[in-house]
């Protein structure tokens, strides 16, 4: 690939290898990874495939090649991912990176070989002279020019939208996990029957997905009446927990029934700081007998 006709293939292979090196040397997210990763996924695979299939310039024009490059890339990349899904490597970063790199390099070699077999004046060549030839544009009809402009605008809009989505990711859903488990750490074997004054225990858990540090408080009601909690052997009216984003808290929480009765509702109420109404509620049912 030493002739002018192959500079486009050389450039694509070079940028692909640079991206591989950047990901290997800088495993954390970076602007370079995004800038090089977008064309590697959305343009390069389709471009080298079209270059291999259509080495003659008379078969496809520049605009058609660009459009088909995007379209075929969108078709090829998921297909490679589907194939990887049925291999021991799975759909992970490095298997995808190696597969795409191999696809681009191999198809670039095929495209180079096919171009070599085409007469010089018939080969498709990307001009790198810095001058844009307008002869083909001037030779197009009115509607061809309109369609070409619309196509270019659509491609630019799609690329701009993708860049915006990648660089400004949407904030995920904000919520809090609130759960109770039995003492075996499973969602079963909760206390079902106790005597008056006997302590029952559960594992209470809170996970903060609110996107910021959040202060929580937990209250307990038994059979519609406010009751105290037992945390670490200490009786408390309210459990206070402060969690950073994605931080979690879990611990044993006890409760002591004060009156007998069947089907008593033991309700755990979670509040966020400054809110008068419960944010989340959990409950179990308890039969209490007089000892």
pLDDT digits (tens, 9 = 90+) for 275-289: 999 999 999 999 999
- Domain check: are 15 and 159 in the same one? yes
Residue 130: pLDDT band with limits 50, 70, 90: very low
Which range is least confidently modeled, 47-61, 209-223, 240-254?
47-61
Strands (DSSP E) along the chain, which ranges? Answer: 175-181, 193-195, 200-209, 214-222, 225-227, 229-231, 234-236, 239-243, 248-255, 261-272, 280-289
pLDDT of residue 274: 87
- Domain check: are 45 and 141 in the same one? yes
pLDDT of residue 171: 60
Mean pLDDT of 41-46: 88
Residue 159: pLDDT band with limits 50, 70, 90: low
- Domain check: are 131 and 266 in the same one? no
- Domain check: are 89 and 162 in the same one? yes
Mean pLDDT of 240-258: 94
Q: What is the DSSP string of 73-86?
A: HHHHHHHHHHHHHT
Residue 153: pLDDT band with limits 50, 70, 90: confident
Structural domain ending residue among the three candidates 101, 132, 167 = 167
Q: Mean pLDDT across the chain, nearest whole number?
A: 83
Percent of the chain with pLDDT over 70: 82
- Domain check: are 201 and 155 in the same one? no
- Domain check: are 157 and 181 in the same one? no
Residue 245's domain comprises: 175-289
pLDDT of residue 144: 64
Q: Is the CB of residue 66 less than 8 Å from the CB of residue 148?
A: no
- Domain check: are 50 and 97 in the same one? yes
Q: Indicate if the pLDDT at residue 77 is higher than 80.
A: yes
pLDDT of residue 283: 94
If you ran DSSP here, which 8-state letter would residue 56 be given?
B
- Domain check: are 116 and 216 in the same one? no
pLDDT of residue 60: 72
pLDDT of residue 70: 84
Mean pLDDT of 123-131: 64
Strands (DSSP E) along 97-211, which ranges? Answer: 175-181, 193-195, 200-209
pLDDT of residue 162: 61
Structural domain ending residue among the three candidates 167, 195, 212 = 167
Which range is least confidently modeled, 13-27, 165-179, 226-240?
165-179
pTM metric for this prediction: 0.49
């Amino acid at each position: 690939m030493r002739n002018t006709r192959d500079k486009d293939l050389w450039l694509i292979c070079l940028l692909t290898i640079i991206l591989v090196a950047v990901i290997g040397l800088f495993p954390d997210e970076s602007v370079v990874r995004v800038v090089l990763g977008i064309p590697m996924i959305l343009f390069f695979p389709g471009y080298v495939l079209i270059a291999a299939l259509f080495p003659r310039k008379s078969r496809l024009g520049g605009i058609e090649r660009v459009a088909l490059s995007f379209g075929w890339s969108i078709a090829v990349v998921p297909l490679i991912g589907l194939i990887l899904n049925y291999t021991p490597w799975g759909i992970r970063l490095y298997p995808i990176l190696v597969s795409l790199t191999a696809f681009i390099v191999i198809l670039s070699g095929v495209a180079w070989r096919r171009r070599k077999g085409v007469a010089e004046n018939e080969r498709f060549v990307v001009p790198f002279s810095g001058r844009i030839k307008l002869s083909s544009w001037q030779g197009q009809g009115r509607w061809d020019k309109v369609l070409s402009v619309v196509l270019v605008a659509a491609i630019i809009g799609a690329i701009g939208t993708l860049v915006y989505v990648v660089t400004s990711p949407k904030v995920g859903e904000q919520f809090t996990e609130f759960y109770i488990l039995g003492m075996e750490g499973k969602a079963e074997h909760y206390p079902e029957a106790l005597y008056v004054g006997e302590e029952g225990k559960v594992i209470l858990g809170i996970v903060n997905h609110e996107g910021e540090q959040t202060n929580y408080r937990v209250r307990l009601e038994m059979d519609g009446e406010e009751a105290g909690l037992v945390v670490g052997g200490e009786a408390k009216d309210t459990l206070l927990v402060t969690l950073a984003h994605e931080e979690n808290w879990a611990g044993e929480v006890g409760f002591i029934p004060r009156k007998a009765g069947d089907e008593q509702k033991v309700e755990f109420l979670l509040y966020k700081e400054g809110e008068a109404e419960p944010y989340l509620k959990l409950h179990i049912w308890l039969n209490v007998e007089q000892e």
